[in-house]
Amino acid sequence: MPALTIDGTAIECPDGSTVIQAAERAGIFIPRYCYHPGLSIAGNCRICLVEIEKYPKLQIACNTPVTEGMTVHTKSAKAEDGRRAVLEFLLANHPLDCPVCDQSGECDLQNFYMNFGLYDPRFREQKVKKKKAVSIGPHVMLDQERCILCSRCVRFTDEITKTGEFGIFNRADKAELGLYPGERLDNPYSGNVVDICPVGALTDQDFRFKARVWYLSSAPTVCNGCAQGCNVDIHYVLNRPHLNDGARVLRVKPRYNADVNQWWMCDEGRYGFGWIDKGRLTKVRHRGVESTWEQAMAAIAAELTKLRWNGSRIGVIASSQLTNEELFLIREIFQGALGAQVTAAFPTRPGFSDDFLIKADKSPNTLGTTLLALDGATHDAATLVDEALQGRIEALWVFGHDLTKLGDGPPINNVGLINEESLRELSRKLGLFVFSGTNENSTASWSHWVLPTAAYVEKDGTFVNCHGRVQRIGRAFPPVPDCREDWTILLEIARQLNHPLAWQNPQQIFQGLTEVLPPLAGLTYEKIGSLGAPLAHTPPAAEAAAP
């Protein structure tokens, strides 16, 4: 642990650390373009120059190892003069695109110029012209003129995805970033090059010209696209009167978590958020006619009470897209109070997976449903639907799933996947058919009652990822008008059934959950925090079920 001094602060850091890493341990930021903690060190941008006593010249902090007794100055006049000269060199041929550049507002060229640049430009020659706004893949645009040749994207595709699409070609002021001949940037993690680009050379086609970043709000959550549960920041705006698309979520960016996804996320999760603002259910419906929440809760509870006293069987198809708190309420109310058959349905057809982040299981809370014993070990969704079609189940409540798209599950009525005709038959035979979910689909169309619910980014709660890590999803913004969180619906149903529960919010429900599930014992929302916490232990059945 060499001891050194940086800007008057004495610190110790592991042997082999670089000056820039030591400075970060001391809470001192050194400007950087090419350096990224998840990539190899290139040392080519030179903006991280620092002054080190007894060294004759300025040194780059990203590639200079610390030594015992080293004294470093990161803000000295000599260091800032060196950075100013580097910045002037980098901007010599840089176009004046700031007013039309998507990176404006989060561009390190802008920020560092305002922080320590502020030089009088001496470049009077004609700027070099290169290709602009070139689509290099399904998600990324390249502007060669804006590129400062930091090589982050080159190293990302060489070292992380190992697909090697990028290269730097030509020399001197003709050097330019590009793809190798015949290549397209279409690997499953291509969007990450936009995140790590420090300037506006690589921009997101989906986000281009949609909003200035200073108008965006941000909230931490986790991706619900697969069982990995990558940590992300969701960027949104709530008031867009000048636009008619109604979109609130504009982009999703990975959030660093060393135990889950580090700095990265896949394109499937990054660009799969359109459902949050499109095709949403917005009104309670009873057999196709608009109704109210009060009427729905009273009528559904009355029908469930009647069926319970008549000894009729009730089926519930929950979802691994629901939070642990909501699944716990479903178990307590339907299994405990009503004696219903409850299972959580999963898309049974495995999706694409790799050995990095993408998992074949496209449900974010499969392990949570397994811990709560709702994983269909005794009866699955197909069996419940089949029994309902045969008249052995009188009521069916479906949470979130479109029954026509559950995948290649067991045959239903010996005709394969359930179809519109089977849904119509369900609607005719069942005494009560409830669908609660976020988006319009065939199951909602044939249900007796349709209850519009909040998307996962519109409510609080927890998921358990495939590695046994409990993570909070958080509430980024309020639900769509007239939509309710599933947990509020369930608590109201419990009250109407004369089975009131003492909990009033997800945090209290989670505490009740920790008291009955040993793997969650001792956890609180505070202990879970923004990065999650591991289960106390994972039961063998859950380990076997984890992908």
Can you tell me the distance from the alpha carbon of 374 to that of 368, in angstroms, rounded to the nearest whole number?
9
Selected from 3.40.50.720, 3.30.1370.140, 3.40.50.300, 3.40.50.740, the CATH number assigned to the domain covering 285-457+478-509 reads 3.40.50.740
What residues does 49 pair with on adjacent strands? 60
How far is the C-alpha of 48 from the C-alpha of 460, rounded, in Å? Answer: 41
The count of residues in the chain is 547
Kindly give the confidence (pLDDT) of every residue in the chain, 547 residues in length, as a single tens digit, with 9 standing for 90 and above.
Answer: 889 999 999 999 999 999 999 999 999 999 999 999 999 999 999 999 999 999 999 999 999 999 999 999 999 999 999 999 999 999 888 888 888 998 998 999 988 888 887 778 787 788 899 999 999 999 999 999 999 999 999 999 999 999 999 999 999 889 999 999 999 999 999 999 999 999 999 999 999 998 889 989 999 999 999 999 999 999 999 876 545 456 789 999 999 999 999 999 999 999 999 999 899 999 999 999 999 999 999 999 999 999 888 888 999 999 999 999 999 999 999 988 888 888 877 665 678 899 999 999 899 999 999 999 886 555 678 888 888 888 889 999 999 988 888 754 433 433 334 788 889 999 999 999 999 999 999 999 999 999 999 999 999 999 999 999 999 999 999 999 899 999 999 999 999 999 989 999 999 999 999 999 999 999 999 999 999 999 987 666 555 555 5
d(CA 364, CA 377): 19
What pTM did the predictor assign? Answer: 0.90
pLDDT for residue 375: 67
The pLDDT value recorded for residue 533 is 96
Sheet holding 59-60, edge to edge: 9-12, 3-6, 71-73, 49-52, 59-60
For the chain, give every residue range classified as CATH 3.10.20.740.
3-90
Residues β-bridged to residue 433: 396
3-90: CATH class? alpha beta
Question: Which ranges in the chain are annotated with CATH 3.40.50.740?
Answer: 285-457+478-509
Q: Provide the CA 342 distance to its chain's centre, in angstroms.
A: 28
The DSSP secondary structure of 78-108, one letter per residue, reads HHHHHHHHHHHHHTSS----GGG-TTTTS-H
pLDDT confidence of residue 166? 95
Instruction: Give the burial class of 233: count Cβ atoms within 10 A of its Cβ; 0-12 exposed, 13-18 middle, 19 or more buried.
Output: middle
Q: Which two tokens stand for residue 248?
A: 């609130």
